[in-house]
Structure 1
Amino acid sequence: MAKGSIIELHRNSGNWNKIVGDIVKLERKIFPKHESLATLFDQELRKKNSGLLYLDLDGEVVGYAMYSWPSSLSALITKLAVKEEWRRQGHGEALLKAAIEKCRTRKVSRILLHVDPTRTPALTLYTKQGFQVDTLVEAYYSSDRNAYRMYLDFDSN
Structure 2
Amino acid sequence: MAQTIRVERMRSTDIDELLPIEQELFGAERWTAGMFRSELEQDHYYLVARDAAGVVLGYAGLAVMAPEEAWVNNLAVRRAAQRQGIGERLLTALLDEATRRGATRVLLEVAVDNAAAQQLYERHGFAAIAVRRGYYQPSNTDALVMARE
How does the TM-score come out when normalised to structure 2?
0.90
1:124 to partner: Cα distance: 0.6
Q: Secondary structure at the match of 1:115?
A: strand
Judging changes above 3 Å, is the alpha-carbon distance between structure 1 residues 37 and 127 closer, same or farther for their aligned structure 2 residues? farther
**Where in structure 1 are there 5+ consecutive unaligned residues?**
10-15
1:103 to partner: Cα distance: 1.1
Between 1:19-28 and 1:94-103, the stretch displaced more is: 19-28
Identity of aligned residues (%): 27
The question of whether the paired residues in 1 share the 8 Å contact of 2:130 and 2:146 is answered with yes
Aligned residue pairs, count: 146
- Check if 1:61 corresponds to 2:62: no
- Aligned counterpart, 1:7: 8
1:68-123 CA deviation, whole Å, 9 max, x = no partner? 11111200001000010000111111111111111111101100000111111001
Q: Secondary structure at the match of 2:80?
A: helix
Q: Secondary structure at the match of 1:27?
A: helix
The question of whether the paired residues in 2 share the 8 Å contact of 1:24 and 1:41 is answered with no
RMSD, matched Cα: 1.5
Q: Match for 1:7: what amino acid?
A: E
The question of whether the paired residues in 2 share the 8 Å contact of 1:27 and 1:38 is answered with no
- Aligned counterpart, 2:17: 22
Q: Distance in 2 between matches of 1:25 and 1:51?
A: 21
Q: Distance in 1 between matches of 2:146 and 2:93?
A: 18
1:35 to partner: Cα distance: 4.2
- Check if 1:82 corresponds to 2:83: no
- Aligned counterpart, 1:136: 131
Judging changes above 3 Å, is the alpha-carbon distance between structure 1 residues 68 and 17 closer, same or farther for their aligned structure 2 residues? closer
Q: Distance in 1 between matches of 2:88 and 2:32?
A: 22
